[in-house]
Chain A
């Protein structure tokens, strides 16, 4: 893991109660339905904090409450040391928000989108003009600067939404599935940019369905399921706690794999329709042991334990809802 970088800019921001974002027993209800069911959060200045969780887990609902665009139903929440209920405008002035769904202004051009968004933050025209040039370059949309937004490709719109969120040089950047719909180049470009922002002291909160992204970007993450936080830690800690250093996959072509035969070969064994997953600290050793027991898989694979394993263990393999 990278060392956490906490530069002066952030250290200076007077944030009471420690965290940049602090939630206690935070809930969100839509009618009778409780989307967020009492979560505690502490996001420290300068860290990159991630939300993982299956569809409908309540990630976006939480992000929207932190962004001060959705009032909380219950519990306590402070963002940048302030209460969103009463100081929403002051908080939002210092946030950058990338919502899950792009909401660009289709009546304006690409450049005007950046320009007017900066004006919403009260930035001077000269400042947003210069900033827009820089952000257009970042989003690689310079050659489309004066084009309409509507006909842009999905990925281009996404890039523009991300660029837009940086117009006010936010202290806290909230990204709700930022890279969904981006091609690999754009994804890596964004990761680089986010990494650089972090070095400048910007705090990041990210939700994602890409485990590699979470592993790449996040110092710490929580896994949400059914409106609750079910696990919390650094990617490494989570893997150590809920998975194992290595995973041995044994593939069988014929009938159901013989789980009983593998009993005791690993700390934990998972039986899938065509495979056995053996969670072990030494994959090769387990494989050798399996062969000795007369297990004859069609193919085998030793790999490192990943966040994806953690995720699937915590939230189940079957599709809920």
Chain B
């Protein structure tokens, strides 16, 4: 593996390309997205089912628990219904889950069994094209689901602020970051057993990252730990945008995902290069 980091002599420059070995990018990741469309046209049922999952959570948890709990204190200290409290968190969690599944299970299959990328890399496309192409597909799917979920929220009167128009772009950024990091992790996995670790990371994160109750229920040390994990920040962003209580802290939360996305893409494409270009 070449580890030279000089910039390529083409017009395709940029931060990413300076930290990645040259020759890894042809600027043609769109073709891989096109492939995903072609493949998923035939497995549309699987695509549709992904749309309903967060809605089931919303109805089950929101209404079921909502009845039991009644109203709660929102991010701005206001009183909101429990459904309104949980819905943004579920949106964030579904952005995470969708992206992570695509970037781990689906990617691992294509990497190890389908040998898809061996063929792709014999064309102008490089590892960075693959990384971007696959993440883009995950984002397109995520955006579709996010739109559906937000539409349902709108219909239920859960979007109470104009800030909510930013909820979708924010969900896409969050999915991008999770997808990129998930992809980077997948490149280190040796067998399907390693995916238990993915579950081990996702499930507690989903349960404990203030999805269902505020962070104030935890003692100080636990609060700090929860704040280290990405889903906490995703939920903070979504809750602020959906309820309209947006302050400067949102910049910090979003920055978390920008960094996470960059690290993910760089590690993923470097590792993909190492794995595939033996």
Give residues in A with beta carbon < 8 Å to B. Answer: 30, 67-71, 84-90, 92-93, 95, 97, 99, 101, 103-108, 112, 116-117, 119-122, 168
Contacts and interface: CB of A to CB of B under 8 A. Distances in A.
B213 to A, nearest CB: 42
Contacts of B25: 89
A217 B174 CA distance: 55
Contacts of A69: 118, 121-122, 276-277
A120 B277 contact: no
Given A89-B23, A89-B26, A120-B28, A105 B126 contact: no
Given A85-B23, A120-B125, 20 more contacts: A69-B118, A70-B278, A84-B23, A86-B22, A87-B23, A88-B126, A89-B25, A93-B26, A95-B122, A97-B122, A103-B116, A103-B118, A107-B39, A107-B42, A108-B35, A108-B39, A116-B34, A119-B31, A120-B32, A120-B120
Indicate the member of A68, A93, A97, A107 with the most B CB atoms within 10 Å.
A107
Interface of B: 1-2, 4, 8-9, 22-26, 28, 31-32, 34-35, 38-39, 42, 114-116, 118-126, 276-278
A142 B1 CA distance: 41
Contacts of B123: 92-93, 117, 120-121, 168
B42 to A, nearest CB: 8
A119 B34 CA distance: 9
Contact of A89 (B32, B34, B124): B124
A98 to B, nearest CB: 9
Given A70-B277, A107-B39, A108-B39, A120 B22 contact: no
A103 B122 CA distance: 11
Contact of A122 (B9, B28, B276): B28
A169 to B, nearest CB: 14
Contacts of B277: 69-71
B126 A89 contact: yes
Nearest to B273: A71
Contact of A86 (B8, B115, B116): B8
A30 B116 contact: no
A116 B123 CA distance: 11
A107 B116 CA distance: 9
17 contacts: A69-B276, A85-B2, A85-B22, A86-B23, A89-B23, A89-B26, A89-B125, A95-B122, A97-B122, A103-B115, A103-B116, A103-B119, A105-B114, A107-B39, A120-B124, A122-B28, A122-B124
A69 B122 CA distance: 6
Contacts of B23: 68, 84-89
Contact of B119 (A85, A104, A122, A168): A104
Q: Of A89, A95, A106, which is in contact with the most chain B CB atoms at under 10 Å from its CB? A: A89
A28 to B, nearest CB: 10
Contacts of A67: 122
Contacts of A68: 23
A103 B125 CA distance: 16
B31 A93 contact: no
A106 B114 contact: yes
A99 B42 CA distance: 28
A105 B31 CA distance: 14
A86 B9 contact: yes
A105 B35 contact: yes
B38 A112 contact: yes
B35 A92 contact: no
Given A86-B9, A122-B31, A116 B38 contact: yes
A105 B116 contact: yes
Contacts of B9: 86
Contact of A105 (B22, B42, B119, B122): B119
Nearest to A61: B278
Contacts of B32: 120
Contact of A99 (B1, B28, B35, B122): B122
